[in-house]
Amino acid sequence: MTKEQVLHSLAVQTESKLLMVVIDGLGGLPVRGKTELEAAKISNLDRLASKSICGLIDPISYGITPGSGPSHLALFGYDPVRYEIGRGVMEALGIGLSLTKDDLTARGNFATIDGNGIIVDRRAGRISTEKNNEVCQFLQSKIREVNGIKVAIYPGKEHRFVIVFQGEGLKDDLTDADPQKDGKRAKETENLTEEAQRTAEIVNEYLRRATEALKPFHPANAVLLRGFSKIPDISSMSARFKLKPAAIATYPMYRGLARLVGMEILETGETLRDEVETLKKYYDRYDFFYIHFKKTDSAGEDGHFKMKVKALEEIDRVIPSLLKLKPDVLVVTGDHSTPALLKGHSWHPNPILLNSKYERLDRLRRFTERECQKGQLGRFPASEVLPLMLASGLKLKKFGA
Amino acid sequence: MTKEQVLHSLAVQTESKLLMVVIDGLGGLPVRGKTELEAAKISNLDRLASKSICGLIDPISYGITPGSGPSHLALFGYDPVRYEIGRGVMEALGIGLSLTKDDLTARGNFATIDGNGIIVDRRAGRISTEKNNEVCQFLQSKIREVNGIKVAIYPGKEHRFVIVFQGEGLKDDLTDADPQKDGKRAKETENLTEEAQRTAEIVNEYLRRATEALKPFHPANAVLLRGFSKIPDISSMSARFKLKPAAIATYPMYRGLARLVGMEILETGETLRDEVETLKKYYDRYDFFYIHFKKTDSAGEDGHFKMKVKALEEIDRVIPSLLKLKPDVLVVTGDHSTPALLKGHSWHPNPILLNSKYERLDRLRRFTERECQKGQLGRFPASEVLPLMLASGLKLKKFGA
């Protein structure tokens, strides 16, 4: 048996409630001696850590900086290396599209080509988002389908868009239809496997028709497509772990990731308080909740140390409302580190606390990277968090006799 | 090379003596702030821990609660997920049967069926163990073999028994011949693979003849069989690690598990002292000893915190006799946790100490879950314990040049 099969064979449905709080980009790096967590006044999280068991989790493995896709898959209990989420899919999830297994997605750029088909600007002079909307609308009206395959195009910011080809049997083993550099000829996609040949023909037919249609739209007179991908063939959390899971997140991308593993997406507002209210409202209906707090990551990405500290303090203030619900198992952790010092995701592990009545408490003083390192959970892969939550909620039978 | 092959290629036979002390169900959970180990007066173990290197081991992986089979396989240096030990085999080992690769075992119930073959009581009114003995003896005298395959039936408690089919080519890819519920028809076994077809026919022929023979024994007038299994195809510790291993255990199941990996089973008495005497008596003849102390687990299973504390204290008192033998490598650990709080096995890691002259000592104060977490061994899988013991006994050559 694989470990996946073992877990599946042991999972049982019970009444206990599991709550996973994901603070995006939680971990940091020291600036003047202190990480963001060490600098923050987070007395609620500190107190909770003192009554929990703690550790450090690696999203993927030592040294690997993950995107949001793999880091969330790991937290949801899936092998993040086995189940790949392509760029096109991530982009589509980011704008809130609901994808099915028949959808082939790609990220697109409007670009400028000269009379010989040579790309003179891969970003079409960064046309305005407004102009982008207009061009997309026009293209959509001109090309609704290609050889029986529906095509939908969704504008993003400036020159960017997402395209979705919808129909049975589409494959994503395709090269980018994008030479990645100015001064080169706009290129077609090529199929990497024989099965993807028909898909490549459809995409290339689309490209030809789009170029034809866009002639009056200079500088946006060509399209480049990259990151062709379909959603991974992944079993739901309900099938795999016998959970009834729900997701609360203010950003579409995280709702989309949760939808990939079969979570119900709960409607919520824009603020942390809205998210907590949503949790309260639906608390009786599900047995696993993923609640996502985004602000820490955005501040880290901007390299804004103080703003990340403030975001942590803001999150700390909603912790008591979560505790009032008395979940049987409460985990607080991050999907990946986003140190302000690096202005981006990083490979550093995240602190984690697990609160349940069936634990040997660590009695640590703070919820920080360095303090959690002293905890009994040790340093371990993020994909083990869900099995641990299931166990602590008495949702796993004994393995073997 | 797989890791298994690496270890095999490095193992060398030497004079050094390895002693693995397994305290069954060692780890616990806090009750009024202290775990069983924390509440126990175990000055010998504490002193030993202060002169050893310590850590925490996970029997299988985070969150997985193991049965005794997989947790022991891991301690013996085998991958506990790869080598499965079926329910029938565990039951047979539990009553002290010595199984060969030609034996197919299953757990059995006597049950009551009505005139239409519908099960009215899966446990035959929980007939007395005495009555069970009588029925088994009768059945055994009536059906000694089926199509050239020998059949042996061994009574257990109340309505339970173990059955062994013995002959070449028997397979265990069989469904349970047990609908698991009253009110359903007694069912035959079905083969899950084509190779198991002949085995299924033999088992079903046995079932028909048994039902016929049991007619006068109402309420024990039918048999239900489940957990068909054979011993795993597993190489011996001697073949794999070049050890000459011996086992000392008072309970048949643990002797049986040790026999599965090719250990010599040493005859011993009922008490801890008997086990230690056995160890002394045979100390010169082997280079690896597994000694099993059971009482802690039984107390934990009964939810009896104080009794588990007492059992730990009793074990602590025999530690000096073990030290007198001056083993080159001494490990004290558990196969799994059995917290009195949970009245059963659990997923929590076990403390481990390793005493050898080739270690950087931790100088910890106590042999407890929380204290061992501070040790340099860290938190690691139980299947790594044996390689560590081999290394500390200088029984592993260098890997690569």
pLDDT in tens, B212-236: 999 999 999 999 999 999 999 999 9
- Residue A2: is its pLDDT beyond 90? no
**pLDDT-wise least confident of A1-10, A23-32, B22-31, B240-249:** A1-10
d(C-alpha A127, C-alpha A340), whole Å: 30
In this prediction, residue B3 has a pLDDT band, given cuts at 50, 70 and 90, of: confident
Residue A3: per-residue pLDDT:
83
Chain B residues within 8 A of A377 when measuring between CB atoms: 379
- List, for residues B265-318, the tens digit of each pLDDT value: 999 999 999 999 999 999 999 999 999 999 999 999 999 999 999 999 999 999
pLDDT band, very low/low/confident/very high, at B67 (cuts 50, 70, 90)? very high
Q: Say what the pLDDT of residue A1 is.
A: 79
| CB-based contact B369 A388, cutoff 8 Å | no
Mean pLDDT on B191-202: 96
Residues of chain B positioned with their CB less than 8 A from the CB of A361: 30
Q: What are phi and psi of A140, to 5 degrees?
A: -60, -40
pTM above 0.90, yes or no: yes
Angle between helices A272-282 and A305-324 (to 10 degrees): 20
Q: Phi-psi bin for B337: left (phi > 0), alpha (psi -120 to 50), beta? A: beta
Instruction: Give how far Cα A227 sits from Cα of A90, A105, A109, A200, B330, Å.
Output: 10, 8, 12, 13, 56
Minimum CA–CA partner of A373 in chain B: B374
Name the residue in chain A with its Cα closest to that of B92.
A401
Prediction ipTM score = 0.90
For each of the domains in chain A, give its residue range(s) and CATH number, in order of start: 3-84+234-392 (3.40.720.10), 90-229 (3.30.70)
Confidence at residue B109, expressed as pLDDT on a 0 to 100 scale: 94
Instruction: Output the furthest CA–CA distance in chain A (Å, rounded).
Output: 74
- Angstroms from A280 CA to nearest CA on chain B: 28
B213 vs B191: CA distance, rounded Å: 24
**Chain B residues touching residue A364 (CB < 8 angstroms):** none
Nearest-Cα distance to chain A for B368, in Å, is 11
Query: What pLDDT digit, counting tens, does each position of B107-117 carry?
Result: 999 999 998 88
3-class SS of residue B346:
strand
Total H helices, total E strands in chain B: 14, 14
* Residue labelled with tokens 């449905």: A13
Strand, coil or helix: A299 = helix
Q: Which helix (H) or strand (E) holds B164?
A: strand B160-166
Contact yes or no for A401 and B69 at CB 8 A = yes
For residue B25, pLDDT beyond 90: yes
Query: Which pLDDT score, from 0 to 100, does residue A401 have?
Result: 85
- How many residue contacts between A and B have a Cβ separation below 8 Å? 94
- Contact A399/B65, CB-based, under 8 Å? yes
Q: Which of A12, A27, A18 is nearest to A333 (CA)?
A: A27
Q: Which chain A residues contact residue B71 at CB under 8 A?
A: 400
First-to-last C-alpha distance (Å) of chain B: 15
Best of B260, B347, B368, B369 to disrupt the A interface (most A CBs within 10 Å) is B347
Q: Give A379's contacts in chain B (Cβ within 8 Å).
A: 379
What's the whole-number mean pLDDT along residues A307-312? 98
Tell me the pLDDT band of B1, cut-offs 50, 70 and 90: confident
Q: Using the predicted structure, report yes or no on whether residue B180 has a pLDDT greater than 90.
A: no
Task: Give bridge partners of residue A225 from the DSSP assignment.
Answer: A108, A177
| A18-47 tens-digit pLDDT | 999 999 999 999 999 999 999 999 999 999
Q: Looking at A199-356, which runs of residues are DSSP E strands? A: 222-229, 245-248, 264-265, 288-293, 329-333, 350-355
Phi, psi of B297 (to 5 degrees): -65, -45
Which residue of A359, A378, A391 is in closest CB contact with B63? A391
- Helix segments in B155-304, DSSP class H: 197-213, 237-241, 252-260, 272-282, 295-301
CA-nearest residue to A51 within chain B is: B33
Please write the tens of the pLDDT for every residue from A108-148: 999 999 989 899 999 999 999 999 999 999 999 999 999 99
Mean pLDDT across B239-265:
96
**CA-CA-CA-CA dihedral for B206, B209, B215, B221, to nearest 10:** 10
Q: Give B29's contacts in chain A (Cβ within 8 Å).
A: 358-360
**Structure tokens, A334:** 């991050």
Single-letter residue type at A61: S
